[in-house]
């Protein structure tokens, strides 16, 4: 995805995210790397230290300030993001943002702030977005996400409270879902043979209660992991 005429990175495109699901893992990794690097170059044409133009070197993996009095070196950055499944008495807390397709719910997520541990970021984000307190937090898996340059750090958290109070600037809705509801939603986007035992629960006959994330997203893999437990 090339930079725009103004030099800024192209904005995230949900339709592009869907097309990414058609790529095999090795090609998806190549695309993700290229997409993140192109976006980084588009946003770092000038030195953050002195404002002078920068030049691409080392095959695009570095930019150097062109000012002889500065000579600062700049490297691609990755922004850590916590993304978490929050569980309480066998139910999962999932939320939806206004930009999601109708009916889609996913794991809560947010950027890790300077000075925070992963566990602290999980607890803060869940409290800020949904008003739910969490206790134990454990790591599950990670995924690079090149929109523009994030590393999604997937976790599981145990909720200490259940009442939901959403931050309307972050979420449109948040709800608790049962294991049967999660199984049904996942089975609707994935062959049941690829899921754990939870996916073989009987269907309610009314269709899934929500639209699950697509398999190219870490949120889908977190839900799949949860069903396999």
Per residue, what are the HEC states of the chain? CCCCCCCCCCCCCHHHHHHHCCCCHHHHHHHHHHHHHHHHHHHCCECCCCCCEEEEEHHHCEEEECCCCCCCEECCCCEEEEEEEEEECCEEEEEECCCCCCCECECEEEECCCCCCHHHHHHHHHHHHHCCCEEEEEEEEEEEECCCCEEEEEEEEEECCCCCCCCCCCCCEEEEECHHHHHHHHHCCCCHHHCCHHHHCCCCCCCCCCECCCCCCHHHHHHHHHHHC
Could you tell me the pLDDT band of residue 215, with boundaries at 50, 70 and 90? confident
Comparing 143-152, 184-193, 198-207, the range with the smallest average pLDDT is: 198-207
> Whole-prediction pTM value?
0.82
Whether residue 205 is predicted with pLDDT greater than 80 in this model: the reply is no
Tens digit of each residue's pLDDT (9 = 90 or more) over 30-66? 888 998 999 999 999 999 999 999 999 999 999 999 9
Q: What is the model's pLDDT at position 82?
A: 98
Residue 55's contacts (CB-CB under 8 Å, 6 or more residues apart) are 63, 64, 66
Q: What is the model's pLDDT at position 24?
A: 81
Q: Report the chain's mean pLDDT, rounded to a whole number.
A: 87
- Peptide bond connecting 181 to the previous residue in cis, omega within 30 degrees of 0: no
Whether residue 20 is predicted with pLDDT greater than 50 in this model: the reply is yes
Comparing 64-68, 123-127, 188-192, the range with the smallest average pLDDT is: 188-192
Q: What is the model's pLDDT at position 193?
A: 34
Q: What beta strand segments (E) does 37-196 contain?
A: 54-57, 62-65, 73-74, 79-88, 91-96, 108-111, 134-145, 150-159, 173-177
Q: What is the model's pLDDT at position 119?
A: 98
Q: What is the model's pLDDT at position 67?
A: 97
Q: What is the model's pLDDT at position 216?
A: 84
Could you tell me the pLDDT band of residue 13, with boundaries at 50, 70 and 90? low
Whether residue 199 is predicted with pLDDT greater than 80 in this model: the reply is no
Could you tell me the pLDDT band of residue 23, with boundaries at 50, 70 and 90? confident
Q: What is the model's pLDDT at position 10?
A: 47
């Amino acid at each position: 995805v090339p930079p725009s005429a103004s030099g800024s990175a192209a904005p995230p495109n949900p339709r592009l995210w869907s097309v990414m699901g058609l790529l095999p893992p090795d090609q998806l990794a190549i695309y993700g790397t290229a997409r993140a690097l192109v976006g980084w170059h588009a946003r770092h044409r000038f030195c953050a230290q002195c404002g002078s133009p920068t030049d691409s070197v080392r095959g695009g993996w570095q930019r150097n300030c062109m000012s002889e009095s500065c000579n600062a070196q700049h490297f691609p950055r990755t922004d850590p993001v916590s993304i978490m499944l929050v569980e309480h008495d066998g139910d999962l807390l999932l939320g939806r943002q206004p930009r999601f397709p109708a009916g889609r719910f996913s794991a809560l997520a947010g950027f890790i702030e300077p000075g925070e541990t992963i566990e602290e970021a999980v607890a803060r984000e869940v409290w800020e977005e949904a008003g739910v307190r969490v206790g134990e937090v454990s790591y599950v898996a990670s995924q690079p996400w090149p929109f523009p340059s994030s590393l999604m750090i997937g976790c599981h958290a145990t909720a200490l409270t259940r009442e939901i109070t959403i931050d309307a600037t972050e979420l449109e809705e948040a709800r608790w879902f049962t294991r049967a509801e999660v199984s049904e939603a996942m089975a609707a986007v994935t062959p049941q043979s690829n899921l754990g035992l939870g996916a073989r629960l009987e269907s309610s006959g009314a269709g899934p209660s929500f639209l699950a994330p697509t398999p190219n997203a870490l949120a889908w893999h977190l839900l799949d992991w949860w069903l396999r437990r």
